[in-house]
Structures are given as C-alpha cells and as structure tokens.
Structure 1
C-alpha cells in the first residue's frame, strides 16, 4: 500500500500537523507504484517514503486521461465549469497556503517565506489567471471567396506529459499543469514531479479531489527521470511533453519525442544570465537586486544572474557592498548530487584561474550548505567593462539566452541595451519579477516555446482550418 507522510511542524512561522498519502495519483485515486518505494531525503535526512512509478504506471495514467476526456471532461465539461473548478482549487490552495509553503520548505530546503511568496502564492495567481481563459479560446473566420466559408478551430493537442523540476515545484506544477484544464474540449494530462521534491505536487492532488475535478483529469506519477520521464518522452499516445530542467535532459527528451511519434515539445532549460550594472545605476538598489538575482533559492534558479558585469567607475564600491550583502546568506542545496556539482564547479573555476573573492567552501558540518561564493577575474579576461558595445558582446557570448538585466538611470541606454541582449526575459532596474500574464522562455539553448500568458496557449492546441463549400462547382 502507498505510504503515509506525517509531519508535525513546530516553527515560529508555521505550526500544524500534516498527514497525507504519498502514492501515485491515477484516475482520482492514490495507488502504489509499480516500482519500489523510495526514501525522500532532505538535507541529508529521510523525511518520508514515496511511491516509485514506472512505464507501466505512465500507461495507466494515459488510459485514465483518455477515459476522462471521453466521459466526464472534454465536451461534457464546458469552459465556464472548468473555470469554476480552477478557481475552487485556487481557493483551497489559499486556505492551505502556510501548509504548502511549510511542505515546500521541508522538501526543498528553502526558507518558508520564500516558498510562500515565491512559489505557492505565484501558483495561486497563475491558476486564477488561466481560469479566466477557459471560455475564451476561439478561432477566426478567414476571408477567401463568396463561394467558400473558411474558419479555424483551436483543438486540444491531446494527452500532455509535464515533467517538473525540483527548484520551484508548486509554482511550476501550476504553471505547466494549468493549461490542460482550461482549453475548449479540454486537454488531459499528468505530471511527473521531481523525485527530489514530490510532496507539494502530491498534496495538491488531494486538493484537486476536494475541489471536485473528475477522476483522470489530472494524474501524478512520481519516480525517476530515466524511467517515468523517459516513458513520457517516448510514449506513443502522449502528444506533447513540457519539460523544465537542464539542457542536457532537454536534449534527451527532444530526441525521444522525435524518435517516437514526433510529439510537440516545449523546453524551459538552463541559463547563464548576465546582470549589467552601469556607472549611473542606483548603486544600493543594484546591489540588492543583484544579490537577489544571483542567490535566490541558494542560486538554484534557472534565471539566476550569475554573471555580473560592473562598469569600471563603480566597480570597487559595488564589490564592497555586494560582498557585505552576500555573506549573510544561508541555505542548503537540494541534494548531495547538487552539492557535489557546485563544489566541482568551484574547483574548476579555481583551476581555470578565476579568483575567489569570498566563499567557496562548505558551510558548517551537516547537510548540503555552501558558502555564498563570488569569483573575480573570471573569463572572459576583462573583469570590468568600459562601454555598452563591450558588455553586450560579453553578455551574449554564451550558448544560453534565458534572462538578463540592465541597471541604469538612462532610459535610452536601458532600452537599447535590452534590445541587443539575446534573452527571453529582460529586466531593467530589477531582477526576476514577472506575472502569470507575461510569457516566459528562452533563446538559443535555453529552450523552445513559451509558458505563461496568452502566448502559452499556442503550445497546447492544434489549429484546424475548415473549408465549407457554399457554391463552388467542380468542372
């Protein structure tokens, strides 16, 4: 039988007992996976046991999704009703905000306030935004001739598999999972949360049932990427896969999609984002935003502003203030794998000639804590920049293009520099702020397609052109 997760939270920010089933969620029920249960370890401590799914469970989830579409969902559940269900789910999440944030803090290792405002609240806002789209998907009438009536329909793409990363599970579960619930005729799908952070996704399944969604509309299969993720990518009855994670894994998913049924793929992948600080920037604000951009979630963010370019006139003062701000940051990495990976990058930087200004060592003797680290004299050789042309060249000198930021009081410089930078999200005098109505995605090897906003709808529909003969005669 599936395991039961039980935990007594007794912290200054949240107190309460949480208990729920940690099985797979298929056809509205919690069931044991085909694989062995695995231990969920957080900061070197076992916190619960979670069911492990396999390709067999992916088959069952697809069966349930297809059945739901033919019976209780699809044409049998109009858009306005789906909108009501989504809003009810958002309301339930609001009632359980602190619980979900506490779960995320425990599972991921991030601070409670960050999990609450950055993940859970964002997810709720996202669901409410897309609930408003449920009855607003429409096609067009296209002018051709008086003898032919031509129009388009946006039809659901089919079963969608969504593979969610570990850095912001509640937020990304909703960002990727909401679209299958809203479209006309309703897409059906399931999620695979990261094996490192499955708890919030599982807990939300209980809320999905409480909200009244029909069985099979949303299915969640926990497990590993090389089994569940691989099965999703190559499944012949899954017609789209949405993945957020590493560029390496994204390549494998795209390859499997091409080799199976040429399924539609959207990828939100890694980045090495530049943060450009000009001489005339508000220095205090630039330091605060740069700290946030580089070390949000212990640096475990796809849009992290990990390359900071500071113009020569303010370099020394910026470095002084930035160093003071970063030394107080504490927080664990998600796993030993991630801890070892970062320490290897630090060692690699040292060997390649970069100079550690501060940090670069383990913090404490327990868990996966690393001191906030600042490198100087990193490649390219110039540690500072003199003009816009120079810094734009350096900022774009990467295979990634997910995000970038510019700090300056000169509006013309801000806009012209922003337009020259090759990135999907550009911030001026701020960092990593957005909203559910704004598209998100990357250039180059940072991804394919866009999530969020109206732009995202195009990734989940097939456009059908219908031609009606009103009087044409075939000679």
Structure 2
C-alpha cells in the first residue's frame, strides 16, 4: 500500500487534465455560475481534476436542447435503422478506446483497470450493440376489437421524449448504458447526470458521441451535485421521464418530485442480496463464487452478495474458504494491473462501512476475517466476513456498500423456511442459489422475491435479461425488451371502416 501511483497513458492523462465543462446542444460550455467540483482519486485522496457544477439555469438549457432535438431536426427524422447504425458505431468506438476508458474509470472510481476494461467497457459496448438491433424493430400490433362493427385497430410505440438519465458512482459507464442505449434506440433524447464523484467517463462519452455523429441535443451531459442539478432535472416540466439508479432515500424523493408533470419514472435502488448455499453444493466452485460475489469492486455493487445463508453441516468450511480466498486479493491502486481490490469511493463511505462493522460487533456478530482499514493513504479496507449474524442486525438488513459479508447458518431444510429467511428484507434486487440439485434450485428460485435469481453463479448480467427489483429495490426494469417498453408510450388507433 501507499506505493507510487501507476502512470496513466498519454490519452487518458490528456483527457483527465483538460478543463471539463457541460455538454449541451452539441457544445462544450461552462456552468453559468462557473463553480467547480473537485474530482478525487479514491486510491490516494488527491484531486485529479475539476468538473463543472451545474445549476437550475444550466439544466434549463440542457432540457431545451434535448427538447429541440426530439421535436425537430435530424434525430426526429431518422429511421430506426439509421439510429441503430449510429448506436452501433458508438459501440465500436467504445471498443476501440477500451484501454483509455478503462483507465479513466479506474482512477475515477477506484476499480481495478483490468476489471474496468473487460467488465465496465466490455459490457457497456455489448449493451449498445444489443440495442442498436432493437432500434429497427420497435413496433405495435394489430388488434381484433370486441365491439360489433367493421374496424381497423392497431397500436403504435412512440418514444416517451426527453429523458433524465441519472447514474451512480459505482458503475458510471455500465449504468449509463442501461439507460442511454434503449432510450436512443426508441428515439428519445437524453440529459445524462453522472454522480459528482465520478463524472469523467460520462464526459468522455459525450466527446465520443460527438465524434461518431449524434446530432446536437440528442445526448447532453450535465455535471453537478444531486441537490442542485439532479433535483432541477427531476422537477423540470420539460423532462418526460427519469431513469435513476441510486439509493432508496433518493429514489423516494424523485418519486415525490416527479409528480409536478407526472413524468415517467424507473428506479433501481440497490439491494441486500442473499446467497443461499444448500448442503449438497459443489464447494470447489461455490466458495470462490461467494467470495467474488461480495468482494468484487469492494462490495460497492447493488447486487453484491452481502447476506450468506449456509447449511450448518458445511457452515464452517464455507466461511473458512471465503476467508482464505480473501487473502488472495491484491489490494492496491486501480491502475496497477495486478490489483484485484481497490479502495472505497470516498472517506465518507469508508467511515460509513466501518460504522456498520462496529454496530455488527456490538450486536454480537463474530469477526471471521478483515474488519480494518488498509494503509493511511486512500480509502482502502480489508475484505471482511462476519459470522453469527441475524436478520435484525444492521449489517444484515441495511445496504452497507462495502466488502462486508454477513453470514448465518441454518438447519431447517424446508425450502419454504430457507426462502422466508432470504425474503426477510425490504430489498428484492437479486439472489443466488448454490446447489447440485437443479430441481431444488428452480423450486427455490420461484419462492425467492428478487428481480434476478442466479443459480450456481452470482452477478451475471446480459443485455437481453431484464434487470430491476422487487419491493424497495425499485420500480420497473432495465435491459432486455422490458427497457424498450419503459422508454415508449403506447398509442391505440382505431378506424371505423
């Protein structure tokens, strides 16, 4: 730890060190206040760049630009096939710039650069490729009406309009793609609002969009604080839809703010994903899978496997295996290609996670491994496993967003009893089941209340699979054909013949 920071490539260094404005209507502009926000490398705590702090007047300009592009001009006249070709070109450019984008994401978010290249950039490009094909396949259907008479009835799917795409700090590229790719495919226009902690990759996306030929106003990027730029976007009467990923608290505020013009809202609000290990699980595959599920990106993943329910017959073996796997993680700066575990995003996040640990231990949880800060520079933390937890402990029921696993054993082999434990949560985003018994796996999958249930794996994402949660994990779905529905309105047309 505290080793010299690995060097950036000249391309990434040139971009990061440049002045960063707002991208509105195809132009790079300063915020009207000219205020800026420090961008911090979480591995060092040092300021690496500054971004513009947009206010409500800047948001007004961005909404006007997006509205003009939606209502008239080249974008409004494009066919689905033309939009698809442009989206595909955008995806190819991301692949071409994968190394640079991975470095930007690594230093901005603190994630290992190797993961950033193959997960963040790779998955993002795949999402745009997937939706480039959808752009020419959005259609309604003919309908046989029930009333007597001679009628021709059909439905049409039309773009919902101007979309505020608000992404969090943990996966800026991927979670922007979840929103931007389908909204572009349907013909909407976008105002991207990245987290003030990690705006760099979104600003680079805007440059790439400009290079590949998206018309002005189709993609706009407004950086700033959530309480200023974010709130102005959500409340704006010119915004037709908000697509948001973030905390439950902020999601509830967005719902309240959206009532002004009853704008459409989709919300992905995080989770407390259970991992259920049945006694017959293949532990050679299960143990490394569980470790990856909780420690990937330092546990700063909305679907991270944070709750472990493991049969008592294998409980100790599984926890010892996860603890041993954690020793193999190389903690370091994300730009070091050997790093497999980076820092938490901020000092505040590190303090929050450590506070949860203190609460867990005070409530009777047993520390199996980890639990401490690593080094004095940056916001690093040891991978941590807690045993003897119960569902009423804060470490088990609240989203920590750090590398902390809350484990507990069970004896009752009833699938109903196991599912009841897993479902005892306000969240319902994802879950995983680990077993050789495929019949038990599918029966249990039906009982678990989560938007994604993975069997003998965790954190599997594919653009064809809908993603979203039950309960307080959100509203609606991203990805797959479901996303097309969320960015379109359905119009029914009926002609008397």
Aligned counterpart, 2:37: 38
Structure 2 unmatched runs, 5+ = 332-341, 393-406
5 Å-filtered alignment, 1:196-235, equals: 196-235=197-236
Taking the aligned partners of 1:9 and 1:466, their CA distance within structure 2 comes to 60
Distance 1:204 1:407 in 2: 38
Q: Matched residues in 1 for 2:249 and 2:166: separation?
A: 14
**TM-score normalised to the size of structure 1?**
0.94
Distance 2:297 2:245 in 1: 16
SS at match of 2:380: coil
Q: How far apart are the structure 2 equivalents of 1:93 and 1:119? A: 11
Tell me how far 1:383 sits from its aligned partner: 3.0
Structure 1 residue 283, shift from structure 2 partner: 0.1
Pick one of 141, 154, 157 that aligns with 1:154. Answer: 157
Structure 1 residue 385 corresponds to structure 2 residue 410:
yes
Stretch deviating more after TM superposition (154-163 or 124-133): 154-163
Secondary structure of the residue aligned to 1:161 is strand
Question: CA contact under 8 A between 1:9 and 1:17: conserved in structure 2?
Answer: no
5 Å-filtered alignment, 1:39-438, equals 39-43=38-42, 44-144=45-145, 145-183=148-186, 186-258=187-259, 260-329=260-329, 330=331, 331-380=342-391, 383-386=408-411, 387=413, 388-438=415-465
Q: CA RMSD in A?
A: 1.6
Query: Which residue number corresponds to residue 10 of structure 1?
Result: 7
> Residue in 2 aligned with 1:3?
none
Distance 1:17 1:457, change over 3 A: closer
Equivalent in the alignment of 1:19: 14
Q: Secondary structure at the match of 1:67?
A: helix
Structure 1, 172-181 or 98-107: larger mean CA deviation: 172-181
- Report 1:438-457 matches (<5 A): 438-457=465-484
What secondary structure does 2:410 align onto?
coil
CA distance in 2, matches of 1:287, 1:433: 16
Deviation at 1:45, TM superposition (A): 0.7
CA apart distance, 1:9:
6.9
- Greater mean deviation of Cα atoms: 171-180 or 16-25: 16-25
**1:158-198 CA distances to partner (integer Å, 9 max, x unpaired)?**
11101100100111111111122111xx1112100011111
Match of 1:29 in 2: 27
| C-alpha separation in 2, matches of 1:68 and 1:384 | 56
Runs of 4 or more above 4 Å deviation: 14-17
Alpha-carbon distance, 1:17 to partner: 4.9
| Distance (Å, rounded) in 1 between the aligned partners of 2:55 and 2:182 | 25
Deviations along 1:256-276, whole A, 9 cap, x unmatched?
Answer: 112x11111100011011001
- Aligned residue-pair number: 458
1 CA distance for matches of 2:383 and 2:144? 60
